[in-house]
Amino acid sequence: MKVFKKTLELKNELDILSKQGKKIGFVPTMGALHHGHIELVVRSVKDNDITVASIFVNPTQFNNPEDLKKYPRMPEKDIAMLENANCDYVFLPDYDEVYPKIDTTNYDFGMLEKVMEGKFRPGHFKGVGMVVKRLFEIVEPDNAYFGLKDYQQFLVIKSLVNQFDIPVNIVGCETIREHDGLAMSSRNLRLSDEQRKEAPEIYKSLSFIKKHIEDKSVLEWKQWFKDKINALSQLKVEYIEISDAITLEEVSLFDDSKSLVICVAVFAGEIRLIDNVLIND
């Protein structure tokens, strides 16, 4: 496995492989890797001739400077995990390699950036669009892999590819969970013992709603989730939305003919956890 810090050096290497007809898979990450990231790499290795992973903590997608400062960084451990997963290349750039000049591109994700994460983290998806577009320009992958835990982000990236006519296939991969159901996340490393003990209740509650969806109305289920989670000592609901799985428009009634998604954000102290389940998928 080779590690590159310079954009031009990586591009030159990948250009040669691309001209040889090699199919390139790409897994962009912000590091602090866990089994969920590694599953994306494993899928890419299976689907492609060459797999590239990037590690870059992207400041443009953090609207909270403290969150950026506290985001875990462990590049040596990450590189070892990627090597064990048979990744071929790691891109480990600094800021100037990714953003050599100011990005003045206009990104318009419509409804996707106005609800949920977009509403509570203004500017977040513009930052995501900036970094993913730039990384796609550098790597020029055939396939790129994203976890569906960040469901809204997955839809935004699909919109980005369509908006700018980027020739890459976006592959969504199932959320990888801990043994107790908690969605794997780099932020889980920051949870206290008490927070970690209560955090699995998020997915347990979402799974309960999915199983018993016809028992209550949309509004009743949203209130039920808030009451259930807020009754715990360590957790506080920021939002729960039940939406169309394609447009993310909120729904007021359940419709068996539609795919719906329930998306939530929950604070454990200052640590923000997100999760989702699909209905009628």
Active site residues: 37
Contact 184, 137 (CB under 8 A): no
H or E element at residue 11: helix 7-19
Q: Which amino acid is at 280?
A: N
The phi and psi torsions of 280 (rounded to 5 degrees) equal 60, 30
Rounded distance between C-alpha atoms, residue 200 and residue 127, angstroms = 29
Tell me the Ramachandran region of residue 32: left when phi exceeds 0, alpha when psi lies from -120 to 50, beta otherwise. Answer: left
CA 177 to chain centre: 14
Which is it for the CA torsion 157, 158, 164, 165, positive or negative?
Answer: positive
Triad 97, 101, 103: Cα angle to 5°? 110
H or E element at residue 275: strand 271-279
Q: What is the DSSP letter of 156?
A: H
Beta bridge partners of 63: none
Contact 254, 214 (CB under 8 A): yes
How many residues appear in the chain? 281
Rounded distance between C-alpha atoms, residue 115 and residue 149, angstroms = 16
